Amino acid sequence: MRKLVKYDLRNGWHNTYYKIGIFVLVIVVINIIGVNSIKMVIDNNKINADILDYICFVLGGPRYIPEGMFSMYVIPVLWLLIQVGISYTIGYYAMNDLHAYGQQVLLRSSSRAKWWISKIVWNVTMVSLLYVIIFIVTIVSAQIAGCKWDWELTTDIARDVCNIDMIAGKSQEILIVLMVMPLLTSITLSLIQMVLALILSPMIGFIVVQSIVILSTIYAKKWLISNYAMLSHNKITCASDIKYTDGIVINVILCLAAFVIGLCYFQRCDILPKNEEV
Amino acid sequence: MYIELKDISKSIRKTEVLSNINLRLESGKVYGLKGKNGCGKTMLMRVICGLIKPTNGTVDYNGVVLWRDIDVPKSIGALIENPSFIPGYTGYENLELLSSIKGKTSEEEICDVMIKVGLEPYDKRKYRKYSLGMKQKLGIACAVMGEPEVIVLDEPINAIDEAGVELVRELLEELKKKDKLIIIACHDADEMNVLADEVIQMEKGHII
Amino acid sequence: MFKMIKLELKRGCTSIGMLISLTMGIACMLYQLIPWINKFEKSKKMWQIYEEYTSFTRGGFYNLWFPSLLDAASIYYFYFVGIIAVLPFAASYYKDKKSGVIKNICTRIRKKTYIKAKYIATFITGGIAVTIPLIVDFLLVRLYIPYDYFCTDGTLMSAVTSWGEYMLDHPYIAAVLLLFAWFLWGGVLACIALTVSAFSENYFTIQLMPFFFMLILFYLPGFIPVKYSVVFPYFFLTIFGNSNPIIGIVISLVVATGLYVLFVTREAKRDIL
C-alpha cells in the first residue's frame, strides 16, 4: 500500500508540477492585488492590517447577496481562480492513469481497493499542498506588507476589501471558517470530482464541481457546499443560515460517500480502452 | 499453480463477446490463443487479468476466486493490446517506476530483462522516441519483469524484427522451464506452433 | 474542401459534446424562464394593479433575455460559455492525432484542406452550441412579452448611447446583431481550444483553455477606463450601459482570423507522426 501511494505521489507530481507552478503564480498575483487593495484602506483610515485580513482577502469569498438583490452580484474572479485552479490540478490525473499506464499499476497493486485508496490519498495530499501554498504565499505577502499578528479581522478592511459587513463571531470561529473550512470543502469537492471523472468523464466532473462553486457564490444555501468555504457567506458575518458546524458534518459525510461510491464502482467496473467522447 | 475458468460469459452492451468458456490452464506450459479478429481472444485475456468482470462464471487462481476473494491476481504480468508507458521517461525509468510498486525487482533484474528482449537499459531516449518494435519489446519486458507466476501476452511479436522474435522465443522457453503459466495470442500460425505447447482455438466467443 | 467541411460539421453537430452543451444551455434557459412564466401567468390576472404589473415586467423583454445578466441562470451560462463552446468539437483535432485518424484522412486529401476544414467546422459548431439556447430563449420570451421597452434602471441600456438609441429604434435587428456576436464569440472560444491543441498534448488543458481565458476577461475590465471596457465580452455580449455588439463582431472576426492564420500555418507544415 505504501509503495502504491509513493508511486502515485511521484507520478502525480510528474504530471502536475507545472500546474502547481502556474497555481503559485496565480496566488502571487492575487496576493499582490490584495496587498494593494488593503494598502489603500490602511492609508485612508490610518490603521494597521492584520494577517487575517490578507487571508480573508484570498479565501474569504464573494459578497453575500440577499434574496432578490441580484443586481449587487459581481463575478468573484479572484476567488473563483483558486477553486478552478484546484479543480484543474486534480482533474485528469486519476483517469489518465487508469486507461493507459495505470493498468500495469493496477496489476501490480493486487487490489482495486488499494488502487482507489491510493488515488484518494493522492487527491487529499494534492489539495492540502495547494492550500499550504496559498497560506505560505499569503503569509509572506502579509509579512512583507507589514501586518500585525493579532489574528483578528479589521472591521474597515473586512468591509471595504473583503466583502464582509459585520463580524459577529468569536476569533476561534472565524479562524475555523477562514482557514479550515475552505480546505475541507475543497477536499470534498475534489473527491466528488474524482468520482464523477471515474464514472462519467473528467470534464463532467469539472463542470459539476464548478457549477456547485459558481452557484454557491450566488445563493447562500446549505446544500451548495462551497458556501461553507466562504467566511462572507457564513452566519457569523451575514444574514444567512450557513453554519460551520453543519459544514463539517456535511463535508465529512460527502467525503465518505465519495470514497464508498468510488470504491464500489471501481471494484465492479470493466477497464477497457476508453474513447474520450467528452 | 493453475487457472480454472468455469462457464465464463461476458456481454458488453447486449453483444456477447465470450460465451461459456471452460478452461483449465496449468503452470509450466505455454498456451496459445488462436482465432479470427474479433473472436474474443483479447477479451478472454482481460478476464484472466481481472480487468473486466465476467457476466457469468468464475476465474479460479489456485483455489482463490477472482472477484470474490481477490480483485486482482496476486502475481501476473500482462501485455494487452498496445503497450502504454509514460512518454517523458526512458524505457528503464518506466520499468523502474512500475517495479517500485511491488518493490520486488532490483536494478540488475530490470537491466537483465531489458537485455533479454533486445533493449539497451541505459538508452537515454525517452519512450516517445521509441519505434513501434521497441515499444512492443518494452511491453514484453514489463510483463515478464519480476517473473510473475502468470504471464499474458497479446500479440507479443507484432512489429518485432527477426532477431527480436528469436529473443522472445528464448525468453518464453526460459520462463516455461521456471514453471510459469504463459498465455499468448498470435496470428502467425508457424510462430504459434513453435511457441505454444497447447493451442486453444476460439471462434465468436466460444472455444472450439 | 466543401465536402470535408460538411463531414466535419456532421461529426461536430452529432457529437455527445454538442448534446451536453445544448442540454446545459437549455436547462439554464428553462431554469430562468419557467418561474418567470408562472409569475407572469399569475400577475396577468392582476394587470389592472399598475404598480405590481410594471414592477413585475420591469424592463420588458431585454431584462429577461439571457444577455441581460440579471439572474443566476444567465450568469451561470456566461460563466460556462467557454466550456459550452468547446465540448462539441474543439478537441477533435487532438483526438484525430491521438487515434491516428489523421493519417487516414491525410492520405486521401491535402493536409492543408483538412486543417482549414477542421478550423471552419470547429468555429461553426462552437458558435451553434452557444447561440441555439439564446435563440430558443429569445423566441420563448417573445411569446410572453408582446412589447419591447427599456426600463429606466441604470443597469440597462438607454438612448444616451448611440447603440442604445439604435436598439430602441430597431430592436429586432439589434437582437440579431447581438446573436451574431454571440455566434462569432462562441466560434472564437472553440477555435482557441483548437489552436491550443496544436501546441499542447494535455486533453484537459485543451478543453479548459477558453474557460480560463473567459475568466481572465471577466476580471480585466476593472483595470482599464470604463470607455475602453467595451472590448471585453462582459460588455459586448450583454445589454449594459455602454454595450455594443458591433464591437464584439469586429473583435471576434479579428481574433478568429488571427487564430486561423496561426493554426493553419503551424499545422500545415508539421509532420504527422
**Lowest model confidence (mean pLDDT) among A82-91, A267-276, B58-67, B135-144:** A267-276
Residue B189 lies in domain = 2-207
Supply the pLDDT for residue C33.
83
Residue A231 lies in domain = 2-268
Q: Is some CB atom of chain B closer than 8 A to the CB atom of A170?
A: no
Option in A70, A211, A278 nearest C20 (CB):
A278
**Exposure on the CB side of residue B205, measured as CA atoms within 13 A:** 14
Whether residue A142 is contained in a domain is answered as yes
Please judge whether B46 and A272 are an interchain contact, meaning their C-beta atoms are less than 8 angstroms apart.
yes
The 3-class secondary structure across A193-209, one letter per residue, is HHHHHHHCCHHHHHHHH
Give the β-pairing of B198-203 and B29-35.
parallel
Option in A73, A75, A215 nearest C218 (CB):
A75
Question: How far apart (Å, rounded) are the C-alpha atoms in residues C78 and C83?
Answer: 10
Looking at the 3D structure of chain A, how many domains does it have?
1
Option in A107, A267, A268 nearest B78 (CB):
A107
Q: B160: domain CATH number?
A: 3.40.50.300
Rounded-to-5 percentages of helix, strand, coil across chain C: 75, 0, 25
Mean pLDDT of the B55-76 span = 88
Option in A81, A92, A207 nearest C215 (CB):
A81
Percent of chain B whose predicted confidence (pLDDT) is above 90: 45
- Give the torsion sign (CA, C147, C151, C157, C161): positive
**A234: nearest Cα among A158, A133, A161, A160:** A158
Question: How far apart (Å, rounded) are the C-alpha atoms in residues B133 and B156?
Answer: 10
DSSP labels, B144-192: HTT--SEEEEESTTTT--HHHHHHHHHHHHHHHHTT-EEEEE-S-HHHH
Q: Is some CB atom of chain A closer than 8 A to the CB atom of B96?
A: no
C223 CA to chain A: closest CA distance, Å?
11
Q: Is some CB atom of chain C closer than 8 A to the CB atom of A26?
A: no
Option in B52, B70, B98 nearest A108 (CB):
B98
Percent of chain A whose predicted confidence (pLDDT) is above 70: 97
Mean pLDDT of the A182-191 span = 96
Tell me the chain C residues in contact with residue A77 when contact means C-beta distances shorter than 8 Å.
Answer: 215-216, 218-219
Q: CB–CB of B65/B71 below 8 Å?
A: no
**Exposure on the CB side of residue C164, measured as CA atoms within 13 A:** 18
Please judge whether B102 and A108 are an interchain contact, meaning their C-beta atoms are less than 8 angstroms apart.
yes
Apex A198 CA angle, A196 and A200, nearest 5: 60
Reply yes or no on whether the pLDDT at A274 is more than 70. Answer: no
Mean pLDDT of the A221-242 span = 92
Q: CB–CB of A181/A247 below 8 Å?
A: yes
Supply the pLDDT for residue C19.
94
Whether residue A107 is contained in a domain is answered as yes
Question: C39, C204, C235: which to substitute to probe chain A, counting the most A Cβ within 10 Å?
Answer: C204
Q: Is some CB atom of chain A closer than 8 A to the CB atom of C200?
A: no
C-alpha cell at A47: 490603521
Mean pLDDT of the A104-114 span = 83
Chain centroid to Cα B52, Å, comes to 15
Question: Is 0.90 topped by the overall pTM?
Answer: no
Q: CB–CB of C185/C130 below 8 Å?
A: yes
Q: Is some CB atom of chain A closer than 8 A to the CB atom of C76?
A: yes
Q: Is some CB atom of chain B closer than 8 A to the CB atom of A7?
A: yes
Q: Which residues pair with B203 in a beta bridge?
A: B206
Give the β-pairing of B150-154 and B64-65.
unpaired
Confidence of residue C154 (pLDDT cuts 50, 70, 90): very low
| Secondary structure class of B120 (helix, strand, coil) | coil
Option in A70, A204, A207 nearest C70 (CB):
A70
Fill in the DSSP letter of residue A63: P
Amino acid (1-letter code) at residue A169: G
Residue A176 to residues A96, A127, A158, A248, A255, Cα–Cα distance (Å):
35, 17, 17, 10, 19
Q: Which residues pair with B77 in a beta bridge?
A: B151
Q: CB–CB of A219/A241 below 8 Å?
A: no
Confidence of residue A152 (pLDDT cuts 50, 70, 90): confident
**Residue pLDDT, tens place only, B11-39:** 888 888 999 999 999 999 999 998 888 88
Reply yes or no on whether the pLDDT at A134 is more than 70. Answer: yes
Give the β-pairing of B64-65 and B76-79.
unpaired
Mean pLDDT of the B112-126 span = 92
Confidence of residue C56 (pLDDT cuts 50, 70, 90): very low
Residue C37 to residues C51, C59, C63, C77, Cα–Cα distance (Å):
19, 15, 14, 19
Q: CB–CB of B133/B102 below 8 Å?
A: no
Give the β-pairing of B56-61 and B64-65.
antiparallel
A99 CA to chain B: closest CA distance, Å?
9
Reply yes or no on whether the pLDDT at C50 is more than 60. Answer: no
Q: CB–CB of C150/C158 below 8 Å?
A: yes
Q: CB–CB of A94/A200 below 8 Å?
A: no
Q: CB–CB of A128/B94 below 8 Å?
A: no
Write down which chains contact chain B via at least 3 CB pairs under 8 A. A
Distant-in-sequence, close-in-space partners of B31: CB < 8 Å, separation ≥ 6: B25, B181, B182, B183, B184, B196, B197, B198, B199, B200
Q: CB–CB of C185/C128 below 8 Å?
A: no
Q: Is some CB atom of chain A closer than 8 A to the CB atom of B74?
A: yes
Question: Taking CA atoms, what residue in A is nearest to B79?
Answer: A104
Please judge whether B51 and A270 are an interchain contact, meaning their C-beta atoms are less than 8 angstroms apart.
yes
Chain centroid to Cα B205, Å, comes to 19
Reply yes or no on whether the pLDDT at A200 is more than 80. Answer: yes
**C145: nearest Cα among C261, C41, C23, C226:** C41
Backbone angles phi, psi at C192, to 5 degrees: -65, -45
Mean pLDDT of the A68-82 span = 85
A61 CA to chain B: closest CA distance, Å?
39
Q: CB–CB of C31/C73 below 8 Å?
A: yes
Distant-in-sequence, close-in-space partners of A54: CB < 8 Å, separation ≥ 6: A31, A34, A35, A38, A138, A139, A141, A142, A145, A147
Question: How far apart (Å, rounded) are the C-alpha atoms in residues C73 and C181?
Answer: 20
Tell me the chain A residues in contact with residue B52 when contact means C-beta distances shorter than 8 Å.
Answer: 270-272
Question: Taking CA atoms, what residue in A is nearest to C205?
Answer: A88
Q: Cite the DSSP H helix spans in B6-161.
A: 41-49, 91-102, 107-117, 132-144
Please judge whether C72 and A70 are an interchain contact, meaning their C-beta atoms are less than 8 angstroms apart.
yes
Tell me the chain B residues in contact with residue A272 when contact means C-beta distances shorter than 8 Å.
Answer: 12, 46, 51-52
Whether residue A275 is contained in a domain is answered as no
Q: Is some CB atom of chain A closer than 8 A to the CB atom of C55?
A: no
Apex C80 CA angle, C78 and C81, nearest 5: 65
Tell me the chain A residues in contact with residue B85 when contact means C-beta distances shorter than 8 Å.
Answer: 101
Please judge whether C215 and A73 are an interchain contact, meaning their C-beta atoms are less than 8 angstroms apart.
no
Residue A159 to residues A31, A229, B139, Cα–Cα distance (Å):
18, 18, 61
Q: Is some CB atom of chain A closer than 8 A to the CB atom of C213?
A: no
CA dihedral of B40, B42, B48, B54, whole degrees rounded to 10:
-50
**Lowest model confidence (mean pLDDT) among B29-38, C10-19, C42-51:** C42-51
CA dihedral of B52, B58, B61, B64, whole degrees rounded to 10:
110
Fill in the DSSP letter of residue A148: B
Please judge whether A75 and C75 are an interchain contact, meaning their C-beta atoms are less than 8 angstroms apart.
yes
Please judge whether B101 and A108 are an interchain contact, meaning their C-beta atoms are less than 8 angstroms apart.
yes
Looking at the 3D structure of chain B, how many domains does it have?
1
B175 CA to chain A: closest CA distance, Å?
19
**Exposure on the CB side of residue A116, measured as CA atoms within 13 A:** 23
Give the relative orientation of helices B91-102 and B132-144 as an angle to the nearest 10 degrees: 20
Give the relative orientation of helices B91-102 and A102-109 as an angle to the nearest 10 degrees: 30
Q: Cite the DSSP H helix spans in chain A.
A: 2-45, 51-59, 77-91, 93-98, 102-109, 112-145, 155-160, 171-175, 181-199, 202-218, 244-268
Q: Is some CB atom of chain A closer than 8 A to the CB atom of B104?
A: no
Cα distance between the two ends of chain B: 25
Mean pLDDT of the C136-144 span = 82
C-alpha cell at C174: 439589434
**Residue pLDDT, tens place only, C171-221:** 788 888 889 999 999 999 999 999 999 999 888 899 999 999 999 998 888
C-alpha cell at C155: 443597469
- Give the torsion sign (CA, A113, A118, A122, A124): positive
Q: CB–CB of C130/C15 below 8 Å?
A: no
Reply yes or no on whether the pLDDT at B191 is more than 50. Answer: yes
Question: How far apart (Å, rounded) are the C-alpha atoms in residues A109 and C159?
Answer: 69
Please judge whether A7 and B100 are an interchain contact, meaning their C-beta atoms are less than 8 angstroms apart.
yes
Q: Is some CB atom of chain A closer than 8 A to the CB atom of B64?
A: no
Please judge whether A106 and B97 are an interchain contact, meaning their C-beta atoms are less than 8 angstroms apart.
no
Reply yes or no on whether the pLDDT at C227 is more than 50. Answer: yes
Question: A7, A8, A98, A108: which to substitute to probe chain B, counting the most B Cβ within 10 Å?
Answer: A108
Please judge whether C16 and A277 are an interchain contact, meaning their C-beta atoms are less than 8 angstroms apart.
yes
